[in-house]
Chains A and B, each alone.
Chain A
Amino acid sequence: MTYKVGIPQGLLFYDYYPLWKEFLNELGTEVILSKKTNKTILDQGVSNCVDEACLPVKVFHGHVCDLKDKVDYLFIPKFVSIYKKEFICPKFLGLPEMVKNTIEDLPPIIDIEINLRKSNLNLLKAVIKTGQYFTSNLSKIAMAYNKALKHYERYLDLINQGIVPIEAVKMYNLSLKRNKSFNQNNLNIMILGHSYNLYDEHISMNLIKKLQSQDINVLTPEMIDTDQINQHSSRLPKRMFWSFGRKIIGSAFSAIEEKSIHGIIYVSSFGCGIDSILIDLVERKARENSIPFTLLTLDEHTGEAGVNTRVEAFIDMIRWRGKDESNISTHG
């Protein structure tokens, strides 16, 4: 009998999905995805989660509700740390517990702890423990993981070439060759924020596609080279102890200093504790280098029309800036 393992399409989905899916497939299980975020999932999430949680956590609860009756296992690993001496957001540290204590009648949860804060060996342990849910054959687990890792590297490669993860998730296992190069004449806009806000088309209201359809090159933190990210984030006077923070700060600072972008749109969910610090740091840096910056704060009440208007106004402003060399009349 093949087990059905459910993966909710939320939070770290766009960071790790290819790795998880291929690994679980190689172990002989069937991976079931929750539906893409939609109104029903959002509503279910909102009613099944504490009010104070941020939008992506609520959406994640909605995905769990969507999956719980269809699968034998739910895959919600407990991410504590993915990098030495760093943490993920506190809400991720307690995510399996939050889900378990708020949603009833759940199938068993695979909540393996992934904690690389002190040693990378813990990753091996986590992989083996996950594998042991389905097989006791260690070499099978190792092989499955190695195969999955190859797919995952290809996925990361695609993103590095400038392909948005929403697309990359669909094509990493096809042998299509696609070289997407930035059109030099277009505007380059950097969209900052957590992957689970940016790439979830419902949460971000299709922001990336909207910009791309206006001939804008979209740059996201995932597309910046890791070495550059580390180099730039290490210049902060205090060591960045959030992995998300390192990625966002490092990619933003490197893009700002290279002057390769015309503007920054920061997409944040209301109540995000990490963003409350990061936004301030990025905004200061952008102001110092006179790069336009705008912030979109999203929650379950955000209206799409308002977001569109703000984004259009921001893009117009940047276009005028290019045309008029910042000599914009204050009278309109």
Chain B
Amino acid sequence: MKVTFPHMGNTFIGAKVLMEDLGNEVILPPKCSKKTLEIGTKHSPETICLPLKINIGNYVESIEKGADTILITGSCGPCRFGFYSLMEKEILKDLGYDVDIIVFDPPDGRPMELLRRIMKAADTKNVYRILRSIVRGGKILEKVDNLIEYSNKIRAKAFNSFKVDTIIDNFYEEVRNVHGMEETSKLIKETRTKLDNVKIDQNKKTLKVGIVGEIYTIIEPFANLYVERKLGHLGVEVDKALKPSSWVKHHLLPGPFGSGEEKRKWKEAAPYLSTLVGGHGRETIGSSIIYAKENYDGIIQILPLTCMPEIVAESILPTIQKDYNIPIMTLIVDEMTGEAGYQTRLEAFVDLLWKRWEEDNHEELLSGS
């Protein structure tokens, strides 16, 4: 069995460690590229959202490298992600690929079915071993998330911010070639040391921007056109409201272990949006309020075109912008997004934030001019 899974930011590192720990062979899909998206766009329904198109591209590229089993997670609505597995099966069947697709749906009243699928994917019936590997994969994922978060901080203050990009690029290259938990953690540690050696300007004033929105487009750098790097080069510290490791915590760990953060977001969002709207619509509202309360300078919402939950959030965000006096910009991405226009909008937004900062802090200099 040669296993593969779609890309979603750093998740591939955690999933790779998990599967390798169980002794399975993993075929990683090549890094998301224009080609990936082109393959996906060609074979997917026109109006489906961006993540499915990228997923299809990932599968085709992995299958060409020899993968025969695809692992994906599912959901039971109301966001259309719940139907991804069904659509993807049909599309791959149409393309003539004979692959096994294992879907991890929420139990929905049939917990044994989920367990059976997990055992099939893990290729073992030893529940203890599976759990141990899941914990290990989760730990690695958290470490990688922390590493990337750290790199975002360094990038904003570094004298040469592109050095950070090189180190992170190298990390993503190398991580494909290492095996198992030990080697991966070692690589993470080494990369962290490299980041520590990047010269930074301690006195540099940076802005803080929070990224909210649809989880896939936030997490997968290819989908958001490397927004954290672009902002980092402009001297902005970026924080993302959703991270792969927190997603794992929300969805895989029950009740008291992981959902504290999510509950806080729901509580903050309640005056504006009291019920769920699917996806992470309610979390987008909640995170925006939390960022505003933590004195961030600005918020950027990112969503794929036609994303239903985020459109609801988008129409509520202007009220939050007014109530909390914090600029919020919405960026919509799809296969037609042009990089130059995107960059210009980011620069304009950051300029606006600097102007606001100057007005707040150097009023005496500006007045009288």
Contacts and interface: CB of A to CB of B under 8 A. Distances in A.
A80 B275 contact: yes
Interface stretch (B19-27, B54-62, B304-312, B350-358): B304-312
Interface size, A (range): 35 or more
B83 A277 contact: yes
Interface string A55-99: 000000000000000000000001010000111111101100110
Interface string A131-168: 00000000000000000000000000000000000000
A281 B49 CA distance: 16
B170 interface: no
Contact of B311 (A52, A88, A236, A242): A52
Contacts, number: 124
Interface in A288-332: 297
Given A238-B83, A241-B78, A97 B311 contact: no
Nearest to B317: A101
Interface residues of B, number: 43
B275 A93 contact: yes
Contacts of A101: 272, 315-316, 318-319
Interface string A20-59: 0000000000000000000000000000011011000000
A272 interface: yes
A242 B80 CA distance: 9
Contact of A52 (B46, B274, B332): B332
B306 A279 contact: no
Contacts of B225: none
A85 B77 CA distance: 9
A200 B269 CA distance: 34
A186 interface: no
Interface in A226-281: 236-239, 241-242, 270-277, 279-281
A270 B86 CA distance: 22
Interface stretch (B138-146, B183-191, B205-213, B277-285): B277-285
A273 B80 contact: yes
Interface in B75-119: 76-80, 82-83, 85-87, 89-90, 105, 108
Nearest to B45: A280
B203 interface: no
Given A53-B311, A90-B279, A101-B318, A275 B47 contact: yes
Contacts of A279: 45, 47
B314 interface: yes
Task: Pick from A86, A91, A115, A279 the residue with the most CB of B within 10 Å.
Answer: A91
Nearest to B272: A97
A98 B315 contact: yes
Contact of B307 (A80, A273, A274, A275): A273
A2 B264 CA distance: 43
**A interface secondary structure, majority:** mixed
A53 B231 CA distance: 28
B273 interface: yes
Contacts of B273: 94, 97
Nearest to A284: B90
Nearest to B314: A50
B308 A273 contact: yes
Given A98-B315, A102-B315, A272-B47, A90 B308 contact: yes
B281 A94 contact: yes
Contacts of B105: 238
Contacts of B305: 52, 271
Contacts of A239: 76, 108
A310 B363 CA distance: 62
Nearest to B310: A52
B48 interface: yes
A271 B86 CA distance: 20
27 contacts: A50-B311, A50-B314, A85-B108, A87-B278, A88-B78, A90-B79, A90-B309, A91-B312, A93-B275, A94-B275, A97-B273, A97-B315, A98-B315, A98-B316, A102-B315, A237-B89, A238-B86, A239-B76, A239-B108, A241-B76, A270-B47, A273-B79, A275-B47, A276-B45, A277-B83, A277-B87, A297-B47
Interface of A: 49-50, 52-53, 78, 80, 85-91, 93-94, 97-98, 101-102, 113, 115, 236-239, 241-242, 270-277, 279-281, 284, 297
Interface of B: 45-49, 74, 76-80, 82-83, 85-87, 89-90, 105, 108, 272-279, 281, 305-309, 311-316, 318-319, 332
Given A89-B78, A274-B308, 4 more contacts: A90-B278, A97-B273, A276-B46, A277-B48
